[in-house]
Chains A and B, each alone.
Chain A
């Protein structure tokens, strides 16, 4: 079982608030990812990181930002939340080597009022 954690699991917040979604993994994985997913829909990659001090934007444009100061920690921040940001945010990390495997966290369900 993967050791990847996300907090909070659920968040209801008002428009204009700044929020940070936490993601941490204890497996020492260099590669980490953030996905955005609406209920029952496909996964959209919004950010990824190859390692410490490395971050890249994903395939879906997002107003969020990420940082990677430590290997185990990959937080996502929204400076000013809007109702259009309401979604589920999934963090993942991937093993390295020839047989790579990606594991997901439990997700954060965000509702912006």
Chain B
């Protein structure tokens, strides 16, 4: 099946720093979704991207749908302690038969040092 490579696997940063993480795939997607998950909770949707080249912001978060449709990145500016958590990317393939299932990255664990 399809796989998403999400990097980095983990990050340890100082409060106030900017953060960038990305996901790449060997095949194209028509949707990219970014989630944040706190311990013991379900993933919460941060940003949804539906068009190649699309750049979308949500507060201090910015995500882009790569023009090749095989990658996406998420940036967090001026990080704060509550940004701590695991960030997942997910892609939706346009292929028939896989239309109903998302492919998830393995997550990026973000730690913010106050």
Q: Which residues of A are at the interface with B, using a C-beta cutoff of 8 A?
A: 2, 6, 31, 33, 39-43, 45, 48, 50, 58-59, 88, 90, 92, 94, 98-107, 109
Contact = CB atoms under 8 A, between A and B. Distances in A.
Given A41-B106, A90-B42, 16 more contacts: A39-B39, A40-B86, A42-B104, A43-B43, A45-B101, A50-B100, A58-B101, A59-B1, A88-B40, A90-B43, A92-B42, A99-B48, A101-B33, A102-B33, A103-B45, A107-B42
A101 B88 contact: no
Contacts of A94: 100, 102
B40 A98 contact: no
B44 A104 contact: yes
Interface in B65-114: 86, 88, 90, 92, 100-102, 104-107, 109
Interface of B: 1, 31, 33, 35, 39-45, 48, 50, 86, 88, 90, 92, 100-102, 104-107, 109
A107 B45 contact: no
Contacts of A41: 106-107
A40 B88 CA distance: 11
Nearest to B4: A42
